[in-house]
Chain A
């Protein structure tokens, strides 16, 4: 299942950035840019964390731990 979490990270970021760009294009006001900008900046490191988690899961690190 580790592979699923590793793939989920870039896919969710791609979807988030695509939605953000689309929404900013639809409503190019400061509030929209700030809100979506904050979401993207905050969730990038979390997505990297999910990718690392997936890597550990794939390597069965958690099986050894449990």
Chain B
């Protein structure tokens, strides 16, 4: 029971737009975490700091599996269409509301509490959205083309990140003709715009989705009175299904999650915080890489219809395991300033001196921008302490080199290295919706596929940047130690996937 070719594109369009908006909503919070922290969470108050940690670090990701349970159950009970309509409304409403919450200065402690609650709602909604969209499209798709059609849904997470980065950069630059004034305005109030814009996008998406029909497989099940009475019990209480849920998690989604978040989040974080590349460059290079790599979701999704899902996903994990360390070593080598220190810069800016009074001592920070012949530039910051009674500054620490602006050639090498990582993402992620849909029966599909997906993608994947960062604080000698987490998780997942997962695509998902 499949939809006509014309109808399937309406289904894909309506599902993808909504899912893309949900990912956009989810990622703007992460992309603006530092701005949000200064608006809502004063670090001087320990309880507010605790809320900050919870809200910006964990809550959104950790509640996603709970969203999968709540909305997955609902989707198997009342239908796919209304459930993922509901998740869209919750996501859009909470994102819009974040843009309206007064700052800590205005309403005090209520501000971080409200933001935390809204972030929890965002996570819950996202937990319910993806499984619904993937199931909905797969249940409309003809056999033999399920990988191809569901791969369009798979592009939405990456495109949501792309749109969030694009909107933030546009707003950050567009508030004033003077870039510095524009950034200042953005940090003061402009950051609210990306959140508020969401309501328009969600409104359009709700209108489109309201015009959609229920999934034909679910409608048939409902008319025959075969809808599950207790999807949670059937999904996780019966061994036959539970063992497949566990296999989906440990043999596919956990590896997919870490590869996804390493390639698109940790890469950006590493380039900005470890390589010290300029804010704008570290984001625009990710935008380019995503733009070039996104079509490959459809390439690999479509290919999986011909050769099976398993080996494409496993190959993606294998390549990630092999190439992560060389790629990140390249990031370090290409942004190293050692060779430039022996060269004479073509220009050195006037030193900017900033002073801070700490414990009756004066800390002076001197910043200079040095630009070289090939376009490479960096800011050199030196900190000196003037002790009480002393007339001359005492050298305090070695200079720090930040805000590196890479030469054009090196910039595009970075884009290529991120692109390669996003290709690994497209290999593991392109076929996975079809793979998950084919693993579970229609009556409990929404619940069964949502939970392993959101534990794999949300918990294992979402925590990647934080765990990787923590590893670097434990072992400070190795800048690449953070990669151990995605490499080990991918390795375990690869072995389990290779040994236990079948490469045979299920031609009939109407069971």
Contacts and interface: CB of A to CB of B under 8 A. Distances in A.
Interface in A1-22: 1, 5, 8, 19
A65 B250 contact: no
Interface stretch (B287-295, B365-373, B492-500): B492-500
A32 to B, nearest CB: 9
Given A23-B474, A49-B249, A57-B500, A31 B49 contact: yes
Prevailing SS type, chain B contact patch: helix
B467 interface: yes
B53 A8 contact: no
A46 B57 CA distance: 19
A56 B243 contact: yes
B60 to A, nearest CB: 12
B467 A39 contact: yes
Contacts of B58: 35, 38
B141 to A, nearest CB: 24
Interface string A46-66: 100110110011000110011
B246 A46 contact: no
Q: Which of B49, B54, B58, B242 has the most CB of A within 10 A?
A: B58
B466 interface: yes
A35 B470 contact: yes
Prevailing SS type, chain A contact patch: helix
B53 A52 contact: no
Interface string B289-319: 0000000000000000000000000000000
A66 B500 contact: yes
Given A30-B49, A62-B500, A38 B243 contact: no
Given A8-B492, A66-B500, A34 B474 contact: no
Contacts, number: 60
B434 interface: no
A66 B502 contact: yes
Contacts of A53: 243, 246-247, 249-250, 496
Contacts of B243: 53, 56, 61-62, 65
Nearest to A26: B474
A19 B502 contact: no
Contacts of A62: 243, 247, 500
B363 interface: no
Contacts of B239: 56, 61
Contact of A35 (B466, B492, B500): B466
A30 B492 contact: no
A35 B463 CA distance: 11
Contact of A49 (B246, B499, B500): B246
Interface in B467-485: 467, 470, 474
Contacts of B244: 65
A38 B470 CA distance: 13
B62 interface: yes
Nearest to B54: A34
Nearest to B52: A31
Nearest to A62: B500
B418 interface: no
Contacts of B179: none
A31 B500 CA distance: 39
B274 interface: no
Contacts of B500: 57, 62, 66
Nearest to A34: B53
A14 to B, nearest CB: 16
B50 A34 contact: yes
A18 B203 CA distance: 49
B455 interface: yes
A39 to B, nearest CB: 7
B53 A42 contact: no
Interface string B316-356: 00000000000000000000000000000000000000000
Nearest to B51: A34
Interface string B235-278: 00001001110110110000000000000000000000000000
Interface of A: 1, 5, 8, 19, 23, 30-31, 34-35, 38-39, 42, 46, 49-50, 52-53, 56-57, 61-62, 65-66
Given A1-B499, A56-B243, 4 more contacts: A31-B53, A35-B53, A35-B57, A49-B249
30 contacts: A1-B499, A5-B250, A5-B496, A8-B492, A23-B470, A23-B474, A30-B49, A30-B50, A30-B53, A31-B50, A34-B50, A35-B53, A38-B58, A38-B62, A39-B463, A39-B467, A42-B459, A46-B459, A52-B246, A53-B250, A56-B239, A56-B243, A56-B246, A57-B500, A61-B239, A61-B243, A65-B243, A65-B244, A65-B502, A66-B502
